[in-house]
Amino acid sequence: MFDALRAPQRMSRFVATLAVLGLIGLLWTMPAAAATTSTSYSGRTSDGGSWVADLPSPWNGVVLLYSHQFGALSATDVPTAAAKQPLLDLGYALVGSSYDPNGSLWALGSGVRDQFQALGALGSDLPSAPKAVIAFGASMGGLVSALEDEHAGGRIDGALTACGVVAGGIQLNNYQLDGEYTISQLLAANKAIRLVGFGTPARGLSTGRQLDAVAQRAQRTPNGRARLALAMAFLNVPRWAPGEPMPGPAAYQTQEAGQYAFEFTGTTTTIDNIESSRASIEQAAGGNGSWTVGVNYTRLLNSSPYASEVKALYRQAGLSLNGDLAELTRDARIKADTRAIQWLQRTSVPTGHLQVPELDMHTIADQMAPVQQENYYAQLVRQNRASQLLREAFVERQIHCAFTLPELLAGLLAVQHRVQSGSWGSVTQPSQLEASANAFNAGPAAFIPYSPEPLSGNNGPFNTTLNGIKPRAS
């Protein structure tokens, strides 16, 4: 979800502020006043999908290749309708596709290809060759944009991901399954709760509702809260609940209460969304792309940034944490479908081999794509010696993708600066991003210095073996 803000109205003040920041050159031919006209285009991709585009007059020479979030089925070239006019007013040409024409919500099998086809199709409608093309995506679309970076091939010059699922589909599946398995095993051993092989999103949602009911009962007792804390550690649930002050580092009961509020409260809870989404990923991959078999849950917790909270709540409850972890390890029998893993590895997992500069933005309390994914992704990029191309920026706010429009525009300007100048300089420093966003005079910004904790379930590479999957090196 993106905050809907009014269009920037004080361009002269904005340009003056950029001059102070040393960023004036990055806008190329940004109009001094709001553009009032644009032309729309549309077409079809080779697989029957659709694409749309909008070209403003005047055009600043930059094309934004927008990759949409999970759940969208129609073509779009902006994150929200409210963002379109501000982007056009700044002179950006916009283009994006629907991805899969067959209604797959996890459309990674065709997303990158269809996006590049949409970009190519728009080329014949542009008055001249672009000065730059920037891939820009949100949530699942952030993963698409990261993959576009790895397959740039001269077609894009930079990338911006917002709240991206940049750890990839397999990591996402596995840490979610670890948490769900923990709830089922330790809090609902007498219930048959389906954790994989859903078949349809409706069946996934049914599992989410069952887990909701189990968690609601567990939250009433110290024993239940301790075991929920363990499950939520594996799920990477934010400790900072919406509408609440940020808890202290040792306020473990408050942290658990915040995690519970994030994951298990509301008409449609986070776990409901997770389960129905996992079913969609299974549909796209052709089977279950996650596993528990071979996982050592003691090692998994000990490497988790949530370990202190879990251990404290277990001590307060008088429970044996070692006993529960041993039980989880002993009874972990869920295997992945090899073909599903192969499909996900081919379509939905970044390698870290960046070709063009990329800025990743994340809110620090993201319940759907935890900010810890950025820690994992940065390590992956570092392992592939591409760290000079990657920068990450963080916003002190809760909720998945809850960016303001000025924050997103500040990110775009930073990527443009890197593309034009060949150097990041200081434009991705929180203070610089904050000043850039505030120059629009169009809403709040909350960039902060921040280092995300490790991703629980960060278990590195895997290999397929006979009869399933090689155990994760947890």
Helix (H, G, I), strand (E, B) or coil at 113: helix
**What residues pair up with 93 in beta bridges, in sequence order?**
63
Q: Tens of pLDDT along the chain (474 residues)?
A: 444 333 333 333 333 333 333 343 333 333 444 546 999 999 999 999 999 999 999 999 999 999 999 988 899 999 999 999 999 999 999 999 999 888 789 999 999 999 999 999 999 999 999 999 999 999 999 999 999 999 999 999 999 999 999 999 999 999 999 999 999 999 998 899 999 999 999 999 999 999 999 999 999 999 999 999 999 999 999 999 988 999 999 999 999 999 999 999 988 899 999 999 999 999 999 999 999 999 999 999 999 999 999 999 999 999 999 999 999 999 999 999 999 999 999 999 999 999 999 999 999 999 999 999 999 999 999 999 999 999 999 999 999 999 999 999 999 999 999 999 999 999 999 999 999 999 998 889 999 999 999 999 855 444 444 334 444 443
Count of CA atoms in the C-beta half-sphere (13 A) of 453:
17
CA-CA distance, 264 to 269, in Å (whole number)?
5
Instruction: Dump pLDDT digits (tens) for 339-368.
Output: 999 999 999 999 999 999 999 999 999 999
> Nearest CA to 119 among 51, 47, 48?
51
> Nearest CA to 172 among 370, 319, 317?
370
- Mapping DSSP onto H, E and C, the string for 83-97 reads HHHHHHHCCCEEEEE
Instruction: Give CA torsion, residues 111, 117, 119, 120, to 10 deg.
Output: 160
Task: Map out the domains of the chain as residue ranges.
Answer: 11-168+350-448, 169-344
- Number of helices (H), then strands (E), in the chain: 16, 11
For domain 11-168+350-448, the CATH superfamily is: Alpha/Beta hydrolase fold, catalytic domain (3.40.50.1820)
The dihedral through the CA atoms of 77, 81, 84, 86 has a sign that is negative
Q: How far is CA 295 from CA 195, 257, 288, 292, in A?
A: 16, 27, 17, 6
| pTM for the model | 0.90
